[in-house]
Amino acid sequence: MAVGGFCKLPSGSVVVALNLPRPTAPTTAAGLDGVRVLVLAQNRARALTRLRNLGLRAVYLRGNAAPPTPDEITAVLHHPDGLIWRTAPDNSVPPALERTELWHPIRSLLRRPTARV
């Protein structure tokens, strides 16, 4: 089950944040290879439907354990697709030492790896 949460904006739309396993790469030895996905939609159901339509079928949101931060909300509001991702934060690393990663469009996550010849 994915850890995540949501935040309702004054405009009536909703930002949903989910921590998911990376769909295209095998997990690392520790099994912590995950991504944080942000979706902007009219309601929570539409946000989850957008992810399911992209092939992430087993996506559910139970509760509001990890809602999006204000910085994450700003990032998804300024992206034209309203659907972005980056590597999930590692809770064992102190925030001061954490590497800052930019947000990526969802297309780059779901792209099939090219075959090497």
pLDDT tens digits for 73-100? Answer: 999 999 998 999 988 776 655 555 456 7
Q: 42: pLDDT confidence band, cut at 50, 70 and 90?
A: very high
Q: pLDDT digits over 8-39, tens only?
A: 999 999 999 998 887 655 544 444 578 889 99
* C-alpha distances in Å from residue 114, one per residue of 16, 17, 27: 30, 29, 19
pLDDT value of position 29: 46
Both tokens assigned to 19: 């921590």
Residue 61 to residue 2: CA distance in whole angstroms: 7
In the DSSP assignment, the letter for residue 114 is P
pTM value is: 0.78
